[in-house]
Amino acid sequence: MNTLRKIYLNSWFTLISKSQAPLVCFFLLSLACTQLEASERLRLGTLVPKGSSYFNHLKQMEGVWKQAPGGGVAVSIYPDGRLGGEAEMVRRMRGGQIQVGLLTVAGLAEIEPRVVGLQQAPMIFRSIDEVEHVMQELGKDLEIMMEQKGFKVLGWTHAGWVHFFAKEPVQTIDDVRAAKLFCWAGSPEIVEIFQHNGFRPVPLETKDIVPGLQTGMITCVAMPPMAANFSQVDTRAPFMLKVNWGALAGGLVMTKEAWDKFTPEQGKHLLDAALKAVQSIQEDGLKEAEESIKAMQQRGLKVIEPTGPQLDQWYAETAKAYPEIRERVTEPAIFDRVNDILKNYRNR
């Protein structure tokens, strides 16, 4: 269970901070043939834990792929970060050692940095429907960009909201500003943006989150409920502020080198199964987030919800950081595209 908790925690923070899960085992397999035959086995790497609903949906996809035209397509799934962190997995995909990856935005950004437009502006989304609409619309542009980098997007997905977990009760944005807030050490521009907007970020590596909460080095951390539940962060930070700080986003991708070797009939079969898998992951992620909150409440977690005026202040104050995020974190054109999509969606 300790290993599972560590994987969940690393999996989440790879999304926001581009951290890398530790390399559990070194994978030394490469393609010996130049042509991918139906009998050859694709290799899929991911950080999701074995036995999770995410893994189970990938296994269901694996079964469907075996029934593809032309003798079926075999795939071996390597969960738990067995093939390294996401940056390492992307490197291995480029080298032909892995052909498929279920990656977070951080991993996808190793391929195409503009993918961060899906999640890097806090509180830009007001509902899950908005998240999914932007993923669908912006995703069309990003798929072209990813293809130009040598990768085929099989489907986009998300796993729900990120909330704040704190050692003391927090409710307003000023409460969180006063806290010692975890911020990943590998992202100095994010640290500076937090500082410029009145927060007290403490740059640390993800492995230092739990010790940091124990010692008081940090007093607040933003993460998804499922990760908090499995890592038992709630036992050290027993107050959860239910502010939708951001949504977890990611995607299932295959190297173009592998994809281009399939016939159109095979490609359609694989793509249909992949889309079903990412949709199921998306639906179950929302359910498991609520189940995780309930499980933590049974351990003593106190859930705090902001009032209407307090939530309005959250939106107004976080928006002040958008110009700097637009220039320093995302590409201005992508940031503007997201805003345009949201504006049109809300007007409609």
pLDDT attached to residue 2 = 42
Q: Say which DSSP state 150 is in.
A: T
User: Under CATH, what is the fold of the domain 2-347?
Assistant: D-Maltodextrin-Binding Protein; domain 2 (3.40.190)
> Which residue in 83, 75, 77, 79 sits closest to 29, CA to CA?
83
pLDDT attached to residue 23 = 31
CA distances from 105 to 89, 96, 168, 307 (A): 13, 21, 30, 31
pLDDT attached to residue 181 = 97
pLDDT attached to residue 53 = 87
CA distances from 309 to 166, 173, 316, 321 (A): 21, 11, 11, 19
Tell me the mean pLDDT per 10 residues along the chain, length 348.
42 40 31 41 91 92 96 94 89 97 90 89 94 94 96 94 97 98 84 96 86 96 89 95 94 97 96 97 90 96 97 97 93 94 94
Phi/psi for 99 (5° steps) reads -110, -25
Query: Which residue's structure tokens are 């070194």?
Result: 26
Entry pTM: 0.81
The ranges assigned to domains in the chain are 2-347
Instruction: Please provide the DSSP assignment of 235-290 as one string.
Output: GTS-EEEEEEEEEEEEEEEEEHHHHTTS-HHHHHHHHHHHHHHHHHHHHHHHHHHH
pLDDT attached to residue 40 = 64
pLDDT attached to residue 264 = 96
Round to whole Å and give the CA distance between 4 and 1.
Answer: 5
pLDDT attached to residue 200 = 97
